[in-house]
């Protein structure tokens, strides 16, 4: 059996395609097309790709050809009759800069949310954002604290407050508690998407905004998916040798 030349992927597309395979919310059609393209990029013959994915040989030919000509955006479903299609980059840019509907409870768009609103694939939105350098979000990082006074219960004001409230007990949790990390991730999401750039004239306004966001989040909820393996996470999470540990696991 003759072996075809491996399909050449565009820069950054392999990471996106593998993300499609892991995503619990991705449509079965796009997952299948991602597998076809990735296997073709690994040098598998068209017949072998068809066997592994469980599709016909013409289907493999078709998606290879569509990716070659149009990249990730070409892997999306073809327009349906009567379905509004938006491929005008200026329209996508204008929608990106416009404030999302109140019902979503967010202060700026994500590629997936905007794609759903415009009825196009999020890959198309992401491609336009990359081309024009649009980043409606801000990258966030975390670091280990080197402050030896991190335990605020070493502070007099806290001690005085606790003395007046004897029924309150503090429970110290480990820095690396996985469940706590997930809570922190959600706090980071709601801060970036609904709070940081919002305007609130009262605590009630803030509470209302948070409530709207949570309702919108629940409507479109999906499980968190780890995008790095254990080795990558550990290598980034380890403090440098000269950093002091500031956590305490006592109860």
pLDDT tens figures, 198-215? 888 888 888 888 888 888
The tally of domains found in the chain comes to 3
- Is residue 222 located within the same domain as residue 193? yes
pLDDT tens figures, 33-73? 999 999 999 989 999 999 998 888 888 999 999 999 888 88
In angstroms, the CA 4 to CA 6 distance is 6
**Is 125 a domain residue?**
yes
**Is 142 a domain residue?**
no
**Is 138 a domain residue?**
no
**Is 143 a domain residue?**
no
Q: Report the SS3 class of residue 184.
A: helix
Contact 123, 16 (CB under 8 A): yes
- Is residue 25 located within the same domain as residue 64? yes
**Is 113 a domain residue?**
yes
Q: Grade residue 180 by pLDDT with cuts at 50, 70 and 90.
A: low
- Is residue 47 located within the same domain as residue 103? no
- Is residue 182 located within the same domain as residue 215? yes
Q: Which residues contact 16 (CB under 8 A, 6 or more apart)?
A: 72, 123, 126
**Is 6 a domain residue?**
no
pLDDT value at residue 114: 86
Model confidence, pTM: 0.36
Q: Grade residue 139 by pLDDT with cuts at 50, 70 and 90.
A: very low
Q: Which residue has the higher pLDDT, 224 or 66?
A: 66
Q: At what angle do helices 28-41 and 13-22 cross, to 10 degrees?
A: 140
- Supply the range of the domain harboring residue 107: 89-132
Virtual torsion, Cα 111, 14, 52, 3, nearest 10 deg? 140
- Is residue 232 located within the same domain as residue 162? yes
Q: Has residue 116 got a pLDDT over 70?
A: yes
pLDDT value at residue 38: 93
109-to-96, 97, 138, 204, 216 alpha-carbon distances in Å:
6, 8, 12, 24, 13
**Is 120 a domain residue?**
yes
Tell me which H or E stretch contains 211: helix 203-219
**Is 246 a domain residue?**
no
- Is residue 186 located within the same domain as residue 232? yes
**Where does a domain end: 28, 52, 75?**
75
């Amino acid at each position: 059996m003759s072996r075809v030349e491996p399909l050449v992927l565009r820069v950054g597309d392999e990471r996106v395609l593998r993300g499609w395979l892991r995503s619990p919310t991705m449509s079965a059609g796009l997952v299948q097309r991602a597998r076809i393209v990735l296997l073709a990029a690994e040098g598998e013959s068209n017949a072998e790709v068809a066997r592994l994915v469980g599709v016909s040989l013409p289907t493999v030919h078709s998606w290879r050809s569509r990716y070659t000509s149009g990249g990730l955006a070409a892997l999306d479903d073809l327009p349906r009759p009567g379905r509004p299609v938006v491929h005008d980059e200026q329209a996508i840019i204008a929608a990106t800069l416009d404030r999302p509907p109140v019902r979503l409870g967010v202060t700026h768009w994500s590629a997936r949310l905007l794609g759903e609103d415009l009825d196009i694939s999020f890959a198309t939105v992401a491609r336009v954002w990359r081309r024009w350098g649009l980043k409606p979000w801000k990258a966030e990082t975390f670091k280990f604290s080197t402050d030896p006074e991190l335990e605020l219960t070493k502070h007099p004001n806290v001690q005085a407050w606790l003395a007046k409230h004897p029924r309150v007990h503090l429970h110290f949790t480990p820095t690396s508690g996985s469940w706590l990390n997930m809570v922190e991730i959600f706090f980071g999401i709601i801060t970036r998407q609904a709070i940081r750039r919002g305007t609130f004239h009262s605590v009630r306004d803030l509470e209302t905004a948070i409530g709207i966001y949570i309702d919108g989040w629940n409507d479109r909820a999906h499980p968190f998916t780890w995008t790095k393996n254990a080795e990558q996470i550990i290598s980034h999470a380890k403090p440098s040798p000269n950093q002091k540990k500031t956590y305490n696991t006592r109860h």
